[in-house]
Amino acid sequence: MANDIKDIAHAVDAAGVMRLFASPPRVLALGEPTHGVDAPLLLRNALFRQLVEREGYRTIAIESDSVAGLLVDSYVTTGSGTLDEAMGRGFSHGFGASAANRELVDWMRAFNEGRPSGDRVRFAGFDGPLEMAYAASPREALTSLHRFLGDHVDPDLLPCTAGTLDRLLGADDRWTDTAAMLDPSASFGRSAEAGRLRLLADDLGALLDAWTPHLIAVASRDAFDRALMYARAASGLLRYHYWMADTSPSRLARLTGLRDQMMAGNLLALAERGPVLAHAHNGHLQRDISSLLMGGRRLEWWSAGAVAEARLGEGYGFLATAFGTLRHQGVGVPPPETLEGALYALPEESCLVDAAELAAVLGAPGPVPRTSPYFGYAPLDPAHLARVDGVVFMKDVPEDRRTPPTP
């Protein structure tokens, strides 16, 4: 089996990736099976550089706050602010502390130096303004959208004043109470103020759509696209807060689905601008329905990737990453009868395998699912191979940063 697999294993480079597709995908999704290690991010960085230099890709989108990510994009495109500010304030989920993410942002800024605006690489977060323990206040998204419209349309068309928004929003900590993630009664999402804000967000978004021709003419396309993102974030956050206050058994499943819905909306918007390399957990990018055990219940929802693929068809491509070992988290050498175990027999530290060819080599009944002693690492489900374009395998993933292999 190892010899057969060796025949279909290739370097993880842009040329090898593009051979998997009839044409370059509008969204090329690269998943990872865990967060918190730099090795897969360094490999991602190397692949993105090649996609930029050889395939014309100009945007990378990562699983991070879309609103905060504007600060990073401003830094890499114009040099506004500093690298430390971009890393400290432009990422969510603690991703700004990653040395690999810092390397990415630094390279993007250097690449853009002296280039015309239309040829610069762009950075985007495509997650909602959410964390595992809370959702952000909709203040920044709502007030930024209101300000943009107020600058460019007749004020009489606005559904409210900035003062009304401020009064209804109140203190931000009423929105970010961490108790609300597990206790619906602690959520502010079904208050009278939140209900009024949902209607105002809808009206502001409708006004933005209705005045699209004028707004594109008087403002830059980038400014209009930012306003669209603010509109998606404001409505998405208010919807998320509303369902945080829900007491039904489907509450957590609905929240996970709403998060991926926000992610999909951002991915589809970015794809309109040009081809995008999207990087996130495999579970957010897979075509199969996603699931999670939480509080003794199995939650199911459609991932951002599944939603995007339904809209883009062949314009969506998915590379799932699998690991051999993650020893610092107790994940040792995979059993040989698993998918990861078959790939672990290869001598290469990392490789790319066509998923359909891999399934054919492994044959029926196929490998058994791998189990992980570490809850944060999700092995690749062999049943998903039929709906994966390529598998990126990393043999031994260290805790510390290392230099990735040169493609």
Q: Is 278 helix (H, G, I), strand (E, B) or coil?
A: strand
- Residue 180 has φ and ψ, to the nearest 5°, of -70, -20
Predicted confidence (pLDDT) per residue in 282-332, tens digit: 999 999 999 888 778 889 999 999 999 999 999 999 999 999 999 999 999
- Is the pLDDT reported for residue 267 higher than 70? yes
Residue type, 105: V
DSSP 8-state secondary structure symbol assigned to residue 289: P
Query: What pLDDT was estimated at residue 296?
Result: 80
pLDDT band of residue 259 (cuts 50, 70, 90) is: very high
The pLDDT of 185-214, averaged and rounded, is 98
pLDDT of residue 2: 44
Q: How far apart are CA 353 and CA 368, in angstroms?
A: 18
Domain coordinates in residue numbering, the chain? 134-247
Residue 379 confidence (pLDDT) above 50: yes
Tell me whether residue 345 is exposed, middle or buried, using C-beta atoms within 10 angstroms of its C-beta: 0 to 12, 13 to 18, 19 or more. middle
Q: What is d(CA 79, CA 180) in angstroms, rounded to the nearest whole number?
A: 38
Confidence of residue 402 (pLDDT cuts 50, 70, 90): very low
Q: Which letter, b or e, does each residue of 248-279 get, where b requires 16 or more Cβ atoms within 10 Å of its Cβ?
A: eeebbbbbbbbbbbbbbbbbbbbbeeebbbbb
Residue 403 has pLDDT above 90, yes or no: no
pLDDT, tens digit (0-9, with 9 covering 90-100), for 79-101: 999 999 999 999 999 999 999 99
Residue 37's Cβ-count burial label (10 Å; 0-12, 13-18, 19+) is: buried
What is the pLDDT confidence band of residue 205, given thresholds at 50, 70 and 90? very high
Give the separation between CA 1 and CA 188, rounded to whole angstroms. 56
Q: What's the fold here for domain 134-247?
A: Four Helix Bundle (Hemerythrin (Met), subunit A) (1.20.120)
